[in-house]
Structure 1
C-alpha cells in the first residue's frame, strides 16, 4: 500500500483542497499522513487521515487579525524557518513515505525534501501565474531567495508541480511548457448549475484569514445591501466576529455555514478572489463581484482574470457602499455575466480535478 505524506499549513483555500486530495488518495487504498500545525488536527482527523504535528515550526495563527507587516513577517517565518524542514525529515526517517506532497509556499520543506533526495511533489492551490509571478517576485519570494531558498529553484527540483486549477483561465496556462508542471483542473464539489431564486440570493464571503480592513469591507457590503430586493447570506469566517456588524433586514450573517448549502440557489457571489471560493462559485455558474483583500496574494490576479472572462467585476476593497451596490445591480441585471459564468461552470464541472490530481500522484509513484 503506497504511503503519502502531505506537508502543509493553513493558508485558507489550500486546506479544503489538500484534505480533498487526501480523502481521494485514501479512498483508493493509500495510506495518507498530514504534517501540519496543531490547530488542523480536528480537520485532518475528520477527513479520516493520519495527523502528525509540527514540533519545530514557528507559531501560526491565520484566523487572528493581522496588520500587513505582521502578516508578512509571520508567514515568512513559517515558510522559511528550518523547523518545518526538520519535522519533515524526522517524519520520513521514523516512518518512510513513497511520496511527499508539499505546499508550494513551504520553501523550507521543499528544500529539505530535495536535499534528502525524497520523491516529492509541489502542490499549487492557485494559478501557476500567481506562483511564478506575484509570489516569486514579491516580498515572500525575495526574502526566500535572500535566505538561500529561491522558489523557482525549489519548484524545479521537485519531481512534479501539480497545479490544481483550470489551465484555460490560468494566465500561465498557455505559456508554460515545462514537463513537470501539470494542470489537473480546479478541485471543487459542484455537481450542477445553480438555479437562482426570486428575489435573487447573493452569498458574501471574504476569506477565512484575517486581512487588514476585512471587517470594514463586510460592513460596507452590508450597507450596500440595505433596501435592495435581494436576499444576502453573509459568512464572516473565523477571523471576524459577526457581533457588532449592522445587518439590514434582507441579510443573514453567520460566522460559518457550508457554502455548498447556499450556492446552488444563488444568483451571484461577492468574494475576495481567493482561489477556492472563486472556483466553487464559477463551478456553480455564478458571476462574481470580487473585492481583493490583499495585494500580496493571488486575489487581485484572480479577480482580473474572472473580469476578463466576462464572468464578474472587480472593485477595490475600499469601495464605497454605493459603488458596491451599483456593481452588484449590473452583475444581476446583465445577461452577459450569467452567460459567461455558466459557460465556465460547464467546463469546470466536466473535469474532476481531485481525481485527475490523484491519477498524477499515483502514476509518479508507479514510475
Structure 2
C-alpha cells in the first residue's frame, strides 16, 4: 500500500479527473487523502475520499478573472498548508493540480516526490505555462523546473482529437514524463438512432453566461428533435425562459445523458467536450471565456472535423441553423464515432492509477 495526497482547487473542470484518479487508487488498496478548498468538501466526501480544507483559504469563492486566477495559482498560503499536511502525515507521492505552481515549487525545493495532474489537453497548457513562468518568476516562484522533475506529468486527456491515436508507449513515471491517461468519465457509444440535442454550459457564472443561455434556448425553439438543457447551479431556472418542449434540468451525469445524444452544444470546457466525443457525439462550441482553454478546444474540434464553432454572441438564428446542419451531416457523425471508439480504448482512471503506482516504485 502506498500513500498519496492530492492537492487541488475548486476549478470545476478539475474535479472529475481528481476524483476519478483518487478513487482508482483507493480501489486498488492505497491510502489516499485530498487537500482542497472548503467549497469542494461535499463532492469529495460524497466520493468517499478523505478530504481536508485549506486552513488558509476559508470561505473560498473563485474569481475567474485573470488576476484572480493568478493570485490563486501563486498563493503561497496553499503551499504552506500542503507542507503542514505532509509534516503531520508524510506520503509517498503528492499529486498536484497543474496550475498550483506555488505548491509545486515548494515541493520541488523540499525534494518531496510529486506528480502533476493536467485536466485539459497537454499541448494547450504548454504555451500558457511559458507565459505564467515569466510572471511567477517575479514572485520568486519557478514553473518550468518543478514540471521537469514531476514523476510524471499525468494528462487526464487524449493525445489529440483525431483517430487513430499514436501508438501508446509503455507506462513510465520518469522525471518530466508526459503520460496521457485518457478520459476520466465512463463512456459508451451513443445509440445509432439517438436524436437528443443536449445543451450544457459552464458551471461557473461567467459574465455572458445567462445571456448565452437565453440565445441557445431561443435557438432550440422549433428544432424537430428532443432537446435537454442542463443549466447547472450557476443559473437559476427563473433567469432564463425555455421554449415548450425543452426539458430543463439542473444536472445529469454525462454517462446517463450522452448515450441518447446526437449533438452536444456547449462552451468548450475540456471535460464536457471530451465526454461528448468519448460517446462519439459531435459538438457545437460557443466559447464563453477567451482566457481559458475553451477557444483552443473549439478550434481543435473544428480542425478535427468532429464539431463546429460559433462566437459566443451568435444569435439564435445562426445557432439553430448550425444545429440543424450538424444533425444532418453524416460525415461529421462518422468522424465523431471513430474518435469515440479510440477514446474508449483508454481506461483513464486505471492508466492513471498504474502510472502513479510506478512513481512510487521508481518510475519504470
TM-score bracket, normalised by the shorter chain, equals over 0.9
* Secondary structure, aligned partner of 2:203: coil
Structure-2 residue corresponding to 1:8: 8
> Whole-Å Cα distance in 2 between the matches of residues 87 and 9 of structure 1?
13
Structure-1 residue corresponding to 2:244: 249
> Are the aligned partners of 2:105 and 2:141 in contact in 1 as well (CA < 8 Å)?
yes
* Secondary structure, aligned partner of 2:237: coil
After superposition, the C-alpha distances for 1:288-346 in whole angstroms (9 at most, x for unaligned) are: 00011111111111111111111100111111111111111111011011001000000
> Whole-Å Cα distance in 2 between the matches of residues 89 and 214 of structure 1?
37
Structure-1 residue corresponding to 2:231: 236
Structure-2 residue corresponding to 1:25: 25
Structure-1 residue corresponding to 2:270: 275
Structure-2 residue corresponding to 1:169: 161
> Are the aligned partners of 2:38 and 2:58 in contact in 1 as well (CA < 8 Å)?
no
Structure-2 residue corresponding to 1:289: 284
1:183 aligns with 2:180: yes
> Whole-Å Cα distance in 2 between the matches of residues 228 and 135 of structure 1?
42
After superposition, the C-alpha distances for 1:270-296 in whole angstroms (9 at most, x for unaligned) are: 011111101110011001000111111
> Are the aligned partners of 2:73 and 2:101 in contact in 1 as well (CA < 8 Å)?
yes
> Whole-Å Cα distance in 1 between the matches of residues 210 and 316 of structure 2?
14
After superposition, the C-alpha distances for 1:58-100 in whole angstroms (9 at most, x for unaligned) are: 75324xxx6xxx6222222221121000000000000000100
> Whole-Å Cα distance in 2 between the matches of residues 93 and 194 of structure 1?
51
After superposition, the C-alpha distances for 1:232-279 in whole angstroms (9 at most, x for unaligned) are: 111111211121311101212222222222111111100111111011
Stretch deviating more after TM superposition (340-349 or 127-136): 127-136
| Structure 2 runs not aligned, ≥5 long | 170-174
* Secondary structure, aligned partner of 1:167: coil
> Are the aligned partners of 1:202 and 1:230 in contact in 2 as well (CA < 8 Å)?
yes
| Structure 1 runs not aligned, ≥5 long | none
1:96 aligns with 2:93: no
Q: 2:137 aligns with which of 135, 141, 145?
A: 145
* Secondary structure, aligned partner of 1:262: helix
After superposition, the C-alpha distances for 1:106-133 in whole angstroms (9 at most, x for unaligned) are: 0111111111110000100111111111
> Whole-Å Cα distance in 2 between the matches of residues 7 and 47 of structure 1?
16
> Are the aligned partners of 2:116 and 2:147 in contact in 1 as well (CA < 8 Å)?
yes
> Whole-Å Cα distance in 1 between the matches of residues 325 and 12 of structure 2?
29
RMSD over equivalenced CA pairs, Å = 1.9
Shift of 1:155: 1.5
* Secondary structure, aligned partner of 1:100: strand
Cα 1:155–1:351 shift into 2, 3 Å: same
1:313 aligns with 2:308: yes
> Whole-Å Cα distance in 1 between the matches of residues 57 and 73 of structure 2?
9
> Whole-Å Cα distance in 1 between the matches of residues 291 and 60 of structure 2?
18
* Structure-2-length-normalised TM-score: 0.92
Structure-2 residue corresponding to 1:124: 118
Stretch deviating more after TM superposition (73-82 or 281-290): 73-82
Cα 1:362–1:2 shift into 2, 3 Å: same
1:224 aligns with 2:219: yes
> Whole-Å Cα distance in 1 between the matches of residues 209 and 225 of structure 2?
22
Cα 1:323–1:135 shift into 2, 3 Å: farther
Structure-2 residue corresponding to 1:156: 148
Structure-2 residue corresponding to 1:266: 261
> Are the aligned partners of 1:58 and 1:83 in contact in 2 as well (CA < 8 Å)?
no
